Structure 1
């Protein structure tokens, strides 16, 4: 085991980690902007449905970022693929959520604490993230 290799590449690890965390925060913030209620306040008040939905969104973003990291050839490539994937994931999530909101407001259901709806929407975010992540390859 050559420890010098790890010491020489540690800076790359830190840079990729920092960029990935920033991209994760950007994606999470965009999702936050699209939510008609304060997720922070709802979670503080113990709303499990909101927590499940938010965790699903975050997990979906992580899956997408993980794929972008593995497929990127440099930092610019990582940023481009990650941003494209985040936007696509958000659009697909909104389309899917809209399809299932013909007769009811799923956002209102989650805000009211409907755990089944929160889990469903969080799960959709993870599944969409997995599909988007699978498409990022060379």
Structure 2
């Protein structure tokens, strides 16, 4: 019975951390992510999907490699801070244009690039968690 309770608690915590991660990412953009998705903005969908997948990769590795829910949450936080940092670093190394503006305008190339930056970062950071 304890195993089932631990499993349920772990799943609930994982879902809540994933949702929290996505909410924080939506606060970082200067536009409403959900509104842009409703409009069919593919670039925003790609970038948001990359953020979701990157967050899931870090969360999955943190859950897989830690037996304690507290350590899982700690390693997820470390990985998530790295994802947030890479977003701001990406903004800094592209001073000639605003990533948010290009995403809002539907620039698919920027959406794909940002998604890959997040996913690549998640894989790299996840190797530190193991």
Interval containing the TM-score (normalised by the shorter chain): over 0.9
Number of equivalent positions: 130
Aligned residue for 2:117? 124
* CA distance in structure 1 between the aligned counterparts of 2:95 and 2:84, rounded to whole angstroms: 19
* Residue aligned with 2:30, SS: coil
Q: Tell me, which stretches of 5 or more residues in structure 1 are unaligned?
A: 1-6
Q: Which has the larger radius of gyration?
A: 1
The residue correspondences of 1:1-138 to structure 2 (distance < 5 A) are: 9-99=3-93, 101-137=94-130
* Misfit runs of 4+, over 4 Å: none
Q: What is the deviation of 1:131?
A: 0.8
What TM-score, normalized to structure 2?
A: 0.93
Query: Does structure 1 retain, via aligned residues, the 8 Å contact 2:91–2:98?
Result: no
Q: Tell me, which stretches of 5 or more residues in structure 2 are unaligned?
A: none
Judge which range, 53-62 or 23-32, deviates more: 23-32
Q: What is the deviation of 1:96?
A: 2.4
Query: Does structure 2 retain, via aligned residues, the 8 Å contact 1:23–1:83?
Result: no
* CA distance in structure 2 between the aligned counterparts of 1:12 and 1:127, rounded to whole angstroms: 31
CA RMSD of superposed structures (Å): 1.3
What TM-score, normalized to structure 1?
A: 0.88
